Every structure is written in C-alpha cells, then in structure tokens.
C-alpha cells in the first residue's frame, strides 16, 4: 500500500505555496488529493468587470474579457465546478453600460459564491449603479467591505450605503471616496440606526475625502475600531486637528495605527513640520507604522529632510502612553532615483565615492544617495529607540509556558529604505559592491541590518541584534 501524507499535512504543504501560482497549478494537476486545496489558493480572489458595450447590450453579445461577468458565469455554471466555493474575495468594477440580464446574472453569482467574505467595490459613481446590484451584493455574508474611488453626489446616497451594510460586516476599508454633501447629521442618524458597529479596520487614503463620514463616527458612542489607517494628501491644521479628534475618541480601542505619508507631504517638510499625531489616548497600541517618508531625489533633499523626519518620528513615538505594550514599530523612508540615475553616466565610477572613511563633499550630487543615508547620525536615533521598552528583552518571559506560546508575538523595530524605480542599475551597483560596508557602519552605531525582500529594501532590526552578530562577519 502506497504511503500518503495525512490530509492536514498535505494542506499545510500546499499552503506554503499560496503565493506561487505556477507551483499551485502543478499541484492542482498532480492528484485529486491536492486539487481542492490548490484551487482554494488559486481562486481565492476574483476580479469581475460588469459592462456591455452599446452593440453588445442590444444584440446580446458576451464580453471576451476574462474578467467579465459572462466569463465568470460560464465557469461557475460548468458541471462539477468547485471554483465558486474557493472564492473568498470579490473585486467588482463597472463600465458605462449594464447588460439587460444583470439581475438574473447577479442572482446566479450570489448562489454560486457561498464563501465570499471580502467585497472590494471600486472606481464608480454610486448613483449609476443599479439598485438590484446593490441589494444582491450586500446580501452576501461579507465581513470585510473595501470601497475605493467611489463618488457620492450627496449625503443621502452615503447614508443609503451605510444602511445596506450586512450585519456580518466587521471591517470597513475606505480609500479615496468623495461625498459632495456636507450634512453630517444625516450620516450620523444612519449610523445610530445601525446600533453597534465594530470596525476591525478603518482606512481612508485621504482624510478630506471621507471627512463627512468620519466626522459622524466621532460623534457616535457606538463605534469601536481596532486598526486605524490614515493618509494625508496636503496636511493643514484643520486636517491634523480632525485626525487627532479621531485618535482622542477611539484611541483606547486602537491596536494598530498606520500613518501613511504620500510624497507631496514630505516635499513640504522644508516649509512646515511633518504633521504630528498625538497618540496619548492610544493606551492599548500594539503596532505603529509610519510609511513612505519621502526624502526627495537629491543629496540636498536628504540632508535637509531626513533630520526633520527623524525628529517628527521621535515626537510621534514619544506620545505613546504605554510603549511597553508595543510589539512593532515600522518606519519607512523612500527616495526617488530617477534624476540621480539620469545624471549619473557611470554608476561604477560613482560608487567609488561610497568609502565611508573618505572625506567626500556631502553637498556634491555626485555622491550616491545611500552614502548620505548611511552617513546620517543614526547613533542618537538608535539611543532613542533603545530606550523604548519594546526593545527590553527583560520584558519577555525567559521560560514561557507552552499555554502562552500562541499569545506571544515577536517584538521588533523595522527601519526601511525603499527606492524607485526598482529596476535601477545605480541602486543595484551600490548594494552589490558595498553592502557590507553599510551593514558595518550602521551596525557600529547600535543598529543591526538585515536584508529583506531583495536589494530594494533595508531593514534594521534591534530585536535580532545578537543573532545577526553571528550571521554578519567582517
């Protein structure tokens, strides 16, 4: 008798391949025992575009687009097809015209997608969407609703959407929504009628776009939020004051705060301070992410912006009332190599200026950006990080009980440096030939360095300090 792995072990093996589509295709064709789990990952997310061109609408033609509704129905209605049961996330967008068969088609979709838990609705105008679609879609037992790029012409439309949210909804992610009305009391009434609402995630790509809705959230006592993600386009005092109001109202329930900074914000750093959010009411904060602090595209940019950004980051972290509860701090800097790459004709010659013990003129644009990043006085910032209780190993049990293992998460601090364009010869040249020098330089200032995710990202991790010392040898 042939030996086979236990089904649960086989599932775990396939789970490790969830991001490798080619391998999943291979395992799905290997044997029946691997088919279902492979299909579970291959079709866990599906994008559908609902449209019909003018001629297609009148003559009953079907779209050849693999993302079209008609193509999806052909697959779902196929004999013995189990793909529908594997789909957990549905991404929907619309064209300008809708097929006449839309009500019937949507009923078939709803019947064949019993396990959809995430609905992503994007790039549309609410008033243009047929009511039958709204009713059927919100009839799904979703727990996560993502809405992005959707325009509401008045608050009544936004109120109508809120009233249609299913009772199973736990997480709402909002990005770049726009509401032309300003009657926040109407929105507040809709929220009150829904009684208690618990958001696992509340996300706004820009605060001004969702301010009408979120202002109503502030006035409600029946809302709880676990994870708060906020982005600022062009920060002003009113916007920062509004965000701080959200932090004051719901901060005690936040376990994670993600502060996203688009490029225009950081560009304005030279003219104003980085918007600082007050986290003093976030008493249960476990994770803080400050993302995409843009440092420009020249040496002078980095020299000017990096100290300002570091100072602002320190002020944000210092406002956390219970830092000993923190499990993760992630700070991401980004630089633009487009102009540097265009003005540097010989990357190899430029990389010769990377020797850290040389007396190179830091104001010269011929010195690659990474040299300036490494030359920054990380020692003071490292000392600041070392004083945060998140890094004290004594705060963790030395001999944990087995019953507590599942409750423990690694404590870590990540300082990331991202660069674009990602396929950049200058960037690769710097890392390929001089990577160890930068590891040693920053390591000597109290921060250890680990390479994660290829050559386009640096991660400093204090928690892994001792282990890394054994890995990095000079």
DSSP calls for 102-137? HHHHHHHHHHH-TT--EEEEEEEEGGGS-HHHHHHH
pLDDT at 261: 63
Reduced to 3 DSSP states, what percent helix, strand and coil does the chain have, rounded to the nearest 5? 45, 20, 35
What's the average model confidence in pLDDT over 464-468? 30
Report the alpha-carbon distance of residue 369 to residue 206 in Å, rounded. Answer: 30
Taking the C-alpha atoms of residue 451 and residue 429, their distance in angstroms, rounded to an integer, is 15
CA–CA distance, 56 with 50 (Å, rounded to integer): 12
How is residue 469 written in tokens? 């010392």
Tokens found for residue 87:
């789909």
Confidence bin at 53 (pLDDT 50/70/90): very low
363, 365, 370, 373 alpha-carbon torsion, rounded to 10°: 30
- Tell me what percent of the residues of the chain surpass a pLDDT of 90: 0
Cα angle value 77/89/162 (rounded, 5°):
110
Chain mean pLDDT for the chain: 64
Beta carbons of 226 and 201 less than 8 angstroms apart: yes
- Arithmetic mean of pLDDT, 49-55: 52
- 70-84, 105-119, 275-289, 315-329, range with the lowest pLDDT: 70-84
Q: Between the CA of residue 291 and those of 204, 232, 316, 416, what are the distances in Å?
A: 14, 11, 13, 9
* pLDDT one-digit tens code per residue, 162-217: 778 887 887 777 666 666 655 545 555 555 555 556 666 676 555 554 555 556 66
pLDDT exceeds cutoff 70 at 134:
yes
Domain ranges of the chain: 1-42, 43-142
Q: Is the pLDDT of residue 273 over 80?
A: no
Tell me the DSSP string of 255-266: SEEEEE--HHHH
pLDDT at 262: 53
**Rounded CA separation 144/121 (Å):** 11
Helices 237-250 and 207-219: crossing angle in degrees, nearest 10, is 40
């Amino acid at each position: 008798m042939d030996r086979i792995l236990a089904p649960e072990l086989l599932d775990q093996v396939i789970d490790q391949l969830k991001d490798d589509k080619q391998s999943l295709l291979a395992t799905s064709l290997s044997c029946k025992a691997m088919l279902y789990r492979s299909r579970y990952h291959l079709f866990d997310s599906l994008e559908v575009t609902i449209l019909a061109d003018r001629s297609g609408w009148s003559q009953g033609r079907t779209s050849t687009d693999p993302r079209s509704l008609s193509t999806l129905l052909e697959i779902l209605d196929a004999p013995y097809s189990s793909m529908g049961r594997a789909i957990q996330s549905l991404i929907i967008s619309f064209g300008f015209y809708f097929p006449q068969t839309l009500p019937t088609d949507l009923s078939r979709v709803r019947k064949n997608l019993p396990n959809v838990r995430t609905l992503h609705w994007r790039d549309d105008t609410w008033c243009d969407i047929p009511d039958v679609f709204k009713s059927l879609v919100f009839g799904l037992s979703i727990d996560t609703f993502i809405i992005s790029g959707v325009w509401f012409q008045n608050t009544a439309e936004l109120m109508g959407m809120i009233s249609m949210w299913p009772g199973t909804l736990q997480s709402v992610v909002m990005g770049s929504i726009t509401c032309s009305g300003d009657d926040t009391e109407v929105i507040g009434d809709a929220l009150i009628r829904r009684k208690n609402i618990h958001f696992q995630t509340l996300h706004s790509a820009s605060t001004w776009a969702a301010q009408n809705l979120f202002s109503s959230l502030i006035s409600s006592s029946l809302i709880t939020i676990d994870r708060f993600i906020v982005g600022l386009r062009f920060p002003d005092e009113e916007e920062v004051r509004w965000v701080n109001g959200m932090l004051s109202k719901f901060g005690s329930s936040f376990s994670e705060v993600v502060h996203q900074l688009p490029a225009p914000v950081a560009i304005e750093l030279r003219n104003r301070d980085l918007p600082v959010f007050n986290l003093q009411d976030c008493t249960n904060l476990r994770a803080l992410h400050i993302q995409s602090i843009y440092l420009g595209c020249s040496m002078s940019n980095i020299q000017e912006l990096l100290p300002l950004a570091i100072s602002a980051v320190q002020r944000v972290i210092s406002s956390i009332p219970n830092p000993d509860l923190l499990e993760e701090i992630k700070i991401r800097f980004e630089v633009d190599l487009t102009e540097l790459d265009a003005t540097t004709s010989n990357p190899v010659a430029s990389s010769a200026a990377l020797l850290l013990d040389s007396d190179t003129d830091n104001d010269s644009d011929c010195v690659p950006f990474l040299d300036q990043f490494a030359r920054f006085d990380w020692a003071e910032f490292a000392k600041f990080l070392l004083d945060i209780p998140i890094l004290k190993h004594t705060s963790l049990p030395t001999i944990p009980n087995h019953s507590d293992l599942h409750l423990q998460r690694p404590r870590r601090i990540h300082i990331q440096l991202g660069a674009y364009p990602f396929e950049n010869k200058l960037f690769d040249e710097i890392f390929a030939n001089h990577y160890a020098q930068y590891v040693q330089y920053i390591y000597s200032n109290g921060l250890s360095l680990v390479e994660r995710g290829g050559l386009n990202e640096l991660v400093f991790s204090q928690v892994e300090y001792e282990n890394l010392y054994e890995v990095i040898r000079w």
